Structures are given as structure tokens and as C-alpha cells.
Amino acid sequence: MPTSPTRRDWAQLLHELARQLDDGRVYDRDLVVLVTALNTVLDAYGRRPYVRDRNRDGGFSYLR
């Protein structure tokens, strides 16, 4: 079983996911599950106090 990614791994993994999506290496049938997972990540991100404070001040408006 693979180990869980650490905080330092996530940016690289997400960039790799973007490359695979661009290259067509992720099947269309997997996109619904993927978008659900990505929305869960964005929801968790938005619950962080720092992010909530930035959103109130106009920062991070590009999310959702």
C-alpha cells in the first residue's frame, strides 16, 4: 500500500493530475468522482480561518 502524501507532496501531485487531465490520461468516466473529491478539498480549504479572512478582504476570489 502506498504511503500517504505529506504536505510537501500535494502541490506536485496536483500539478501532475493537471498534466494527466490535459494529456487525456484520466478517463471521462472518472471525472465525476474526481470533481467530487476536488470540491471536497476546496470546501476544506475554504474552512481554514486564514482563507476565510482573505476571502472577506477580496483575496482568493478566483476559487469557485
Tally DSSP H helices, then E strands, for the chain.
3, 0
Q: Quickly state the pLDDT bin for 62 (edges 50, 70, 90).
A: low
pLDDT digits (tens, 9 = 90+) for 11-52: 999 999 999 999 999 999 999 999 999 999 999 988 888 877
Q: Are 5 and 13 in contact (CB under 8 A)?
A: yes
Structure-block grid coordinates of residue 2: 502506498
- Which residues have CB under 8 Å from 10's CB, separation 6+? none
Structure-block grid coordinates of residue 3: 504511503
Alpha-carbon dihedral angle through residues 18, 43, 41, 21, given to the nearest 10 degrees: -20
